[in-house]
């Protein structure tokens, strides 16, 4: 079973077609992402992790690690609500 980190890295690597992605990678500065890329990453993460990510929180994400932290925070909140 893949870890959340591996799953998130896979999403971003597939989106940009490169293996040169780490948790520290800056989505806009390093990968040259535009708003459509950001939306596609968010949608793929929502599908992969079965969560809904808030737009305001997503806008504050700079690195892949930031998106992963948001996903894990949302997963934790979902678990706490159960």
| Residues classed as catalytic | 34
With tokens 């599908």, the residue in question is 47
What's the Rg (C-alpha) of the chain?
Answer: 12
- DSSP letter at 27 equals T
Give dist(CA 41, CA 49) in Å, integer.
12
């Amino acid at each position: 079973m893949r870890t959340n980190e591996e799953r998130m890295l896979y999403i971003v690597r597939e989106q940009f077609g490169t293996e040169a992605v780490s948790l520290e990678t800056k989505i806009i500065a390093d990968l040259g992402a535009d708003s459509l890329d950001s939306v596609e990453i968010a949608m793929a993460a929502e599908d992969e992790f079965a969560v809904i990510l808030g737009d305001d929180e997503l806008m504050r994400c700079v690195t892949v690690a930031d998106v992963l932290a948001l996903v894990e925070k949302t997963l934790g909140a979902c678990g706490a609500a159960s």
